[in-house]
Amino acid sequence: MLGLPDGIRACLFDMDGVVTKTAVVHAAAWKEMFDDFLREWSAKNGKPFVPFDPVRDYDEYVDGKPRQEGTKSFLESRGISLPEGSEDDPPSAPTIWGLGNRKNELVLAVIKRDGVEVYDGSRRYIEAVRADGLRTAIVSSSANTVAVLDAAGIAGLFDVRVDAQVARERGLHGKPAPDTFLEAARMLDTPAAYATVYEDALAGVAAGRAGAFGFVVGVDRVGQAAELRAHGADIVVQDLGELL
């Protein structure tokens, strides 16, 4: 009924784009932040302005990764090097952390203004998973996971949470490393071979495969089914409701 192999005991869900309709908010925030930066950088360096692509650049360089790693990854793709800075850099600072903090500021403003929507198919699927006695975890690279879950009213659907704050506290590497998913499985007292990963990001699917999880479900919201399979998804669906 749940579309899972026999023996699966825990389900580990990414948040943005899998459970909540916040991936599009993140993509728009990345674009606004990077385009503002790139315009200024191009003018100062006599280079043509090439805007951030909210599909190709988002999928390739930032989706699913910790904020500062996504920032650095995209800038490196453009041959741009900035100082790392520090976590408390203001959003105006020309540093990796400063740009990341500006992006986060934009995301929080949209969440506060518009709230958070949950994919209906995902809500129904997670409720069915729990009704069947399986444990659940939310595993996100976001530092705003608690705020998003609370705004969406779905915090109670997950037994454990592993997000950017937990990763920082415990020294876990972000996706595409499998550390955060492995930590969630450990917290649920479930070996990776008996847990399923649900991801819409290429980096997240790669993390599921790298962690040798029992099953990896790719969620294709933007027409990248082939890429999700290439990165390690065992199955690709457009919505988790398809698995019911």
Residue 189 φ/ψ, nearest 5 degrees: 55, 45
> Can you tell me the distance from the alpha carbon of 102 to that of 211, in angstroms, rounded to the nearest whole number?
32
Residue 111 contacts residue 25 (beta carbons within 8 Å): yes
Preceding amide of 176 cis, omega within 30: yes
Task: Look up tokens 């290439």; give the residue.
Answer: 230
For the record, the structure tokens of 226 come out as 């082939």
Residues 19, 239, 123: CA angle, nearest 5 degrees: 40
Closest CA to 26 of 131, 102, 95, 106: 106
Helix axes 67-77, 23-45, angle to 10 degrees: 40
Dist. CA 82–CA 95, nearest whole Å: 6
Q: How do beta strands 195-199 and 215-219 pair? A: parallel
Residues known to be catalytic: 14, 16
Q: For residue 40, what are its two tokens?
A: 């200024």
Q: Of 159, 163, 167, which Cα lies nearest the Cα of 145?
A: 163
CB 12 within 8 A of CB 198: yes
